Amino acid sequence: MGDNLHSTDTIVIGAGPGGYVAAIRAAQLGQKVTIVEKENLGGVCLNVGCIPSKALITAGHHYHQAQNLDVFGLSVPKVEVDFSKVQAFKESVVNKLTAGVGMLLKGNKVEIVKGTATFVDANTVKINSVEGEKNIHFKHAIIATGSRPFELPTMKFSNRIIDSTGALNLKGIPKSLLVVGGGVIGVELVGAYANFGVNVTILEGQSDILIGIDNKATSIVKRNLKKKGVDIYTKAFVEGAKETDNGVEVTCEINGEKRIFEADYLLVSVGRKPNTDKIGLTEAGVEIDEKGLIKTDNQCRTSIPHIYAIGDIISGPQLAHKASYEGKVAAEAIAGEKAIVDYTCIPAVVFSEPEIAVVGHSEESAKKAGIDTKVSKFPFAANGRAIALNQIEGFVQLVTRADNDMVIGGQIIGPNASDMIAEITLAIETGLTAEDLALTIHAHPTLGEIVMETAELALGNPIHIVK
C-alpha cells in the first residue's frame, strides 16, 4: 500500500457483488475510490457461493442427464465422474470471473487494498494486512461486508460438519450426506449431490422445505428430489451432532421420537449471519438492530450521513443482485443524485430441478396488501419447446390486478425459469399489463412463449389451452 492511499473520497469495504459494483459506479461518477477486501475479489458470491455452486449444479445435471438419454434414442457408455476435474472446472469458472472483477476495478481506476478494514472513527479506517497497519481517511464510506454461514453451538463446523463452502470444496463424492436446513442453499446443494448419486437426507425444522415459496412449485421440486433417492424429514428438530471415526452422527427428534442419522458428512445450512460484529461500527457511530443488521434509509445511508451500507448487512433478502443494485444507489447518492431504492420487484431464484423463480406479489401477499387480483397459470406441458426438451414439469403464473390487468407478480417453475423471470420483472418495473405481454410477439418455438400464453389466459382468450 502506497502513501497515496492515506486519503480517498469514497472507501468501499468488501469487494463482493455489492462492493465492487458500488466502487465502479462511484468511480464512474468522478469519485476517487478505494476498495478494501480481506480475502478474494468477488466476495462470497463469486468465490464460494452463487457462481461455484452453479458450476457444481451444472456438472451434476449433465452427469444425471447422461444416464437418462434413452428417451431421445441415445445410448451412452457408462458415464464416470472424475471429481477432481469437476472441481477444476468449478475453479476455472471462479478464476475467470474474479480476474474479470480485478480488471474492471483497475479499468475504472479504483484503488484495490488487500487487508481487513476496521473503523477507528467516522472518517478513518485502519487496514490490517501482511504489510502491516495503515489508516485511510475518507469523505464517504460504503460498507459491503456481506455475511457468513450461521454456526449452531450444537453443530460446530469441523472436518465432517461443514458449511456451504465446505460442501462446494469436497475432494471426492461422498457416499452419503446429511443436510440440516431445507432453504435455498441447502436444496440447491442437495440437488447437485443427488445428481452425482449421493445418498442425501434433508432434516428441516419447519413444516416444509423452501418456506415462503409457492407450495405448488415446491411440491414439484420435492417430487424430483425423492425420485433421486433424497429423504426429506420436516418438523425434524436436530439436537446435536458429533464426528465419528468415519463420518458424522446426528441426533434428531421427529414426531416425538428420537432418531439417529449417520452419514459421511453433515452440511449445516440454516441461514447466514451479517458481518457487522468486528468492523468497528461502534467507533464509527453506526447503529445496528437486534439482528446485527445496519439501519439504513432509502438511499442506503446509515445513522452517520456520510456512511452507507448495502447487501446482506442491511434488511431484506440476502441476494447478490439486491446488493449490486443497492451499491449503485449508494454510489449515486454520494454523488448527489436522487437515487433511492425501490424493492417493488426483486426476483429470487432457486436453482433446483426444475428451477423456481419468483418476483413481485404472490397471490397471498397481494391479498394481504388489499389488492384484488386475478391469478393465471399456464403449464410447460402445453409448450412445444418444453416438450422437445422433454422437460414438461412446471408452470408460469401471473398475478395481475383485477381492475386494470397490470402485472404485479409472477412465479415460474420449469426449465430456464431463472432467465424467463426477467420478462415479468421488466413488466412489473415498467407498469405493463397482461395485454402488453400478450401483444408482444415471442419467437417460436421457445419457452418464453409461455409468458405470452399466460398473459393471454389472464385476458380470457388463451390459444394453446382450453379455458
Question: Does 146 carry a binding-site annotation?
Answer: yes
**What CA–CA distance (Å, rounded) separates 307 from 118?**
13
Residue 390: CB atoms within 10 A of its CB come to: 12
What is the spatial distance between Cα 253 and Cα 452, in angstroms, rounded to a whole number?
47
Is 453 assigned to a binding site?
A: no
Phi, psi of 323 (to 5 degrees): -60, -45
Does residue 302 have a known ligand-binding role?
no
User: Which distant-in-sequence residues (6+ apart) come within 8 Å of 282 by Cβ?
Assistant: none
b/e burial code for range 417-442 (CB count within 10 A of at least 16 → b): bbebbebbbebbeeebbbbebbeeeb
186 is in an annotated binding site: yes
Sorted by sequence, the CB contacts under 8 Å of residue 176 that are 6+ apart come out as 198, 199, 200, 201, 247, 262, 263, 264, 265
Q: What one-letter code names the amino acid at 376?
A: S
The answer to the question of whether 147 is labelled as a binding residue is yes
- Find, among 134, 162, 135, 168, the residue nearest to 149 by Cα: 162
Task: Tell how far CA 392 is from the center of its chain.
Answer: 25
Rounded to the nearest 10 degrees, the angle between the axes of helix 83-107 and helix 50-66 is 140
Residue 188 marked as a ligand binder: yes
Q: Which residues are catalytic?
A: 444
Alpha helices in 215-338 (DSSP H): 215-227, 281-284, 320-334
Comparing C-alpha atoms, which of 281, 323, 240, 262 is closest to residue 46?
323
Provide the grid cell at 327: 451499491
187 is in an annotated binding site: yes
**According to the annotation, is 184 in a ligand binding site?**
yes
Ligand-binding annotation for 54, yes or no, is yes
Residue 281 grid coordinates: 461500527
- Check the annotation: does 185 bind a ligand: yes
Report the binding-site residues for NAD(+): 181-188, 204, 271
Report the binding-site residues for FAD: 54, 145-147, 312
Report the binding-site residues: 54, 145-147, 181-188, 204, 271, 312
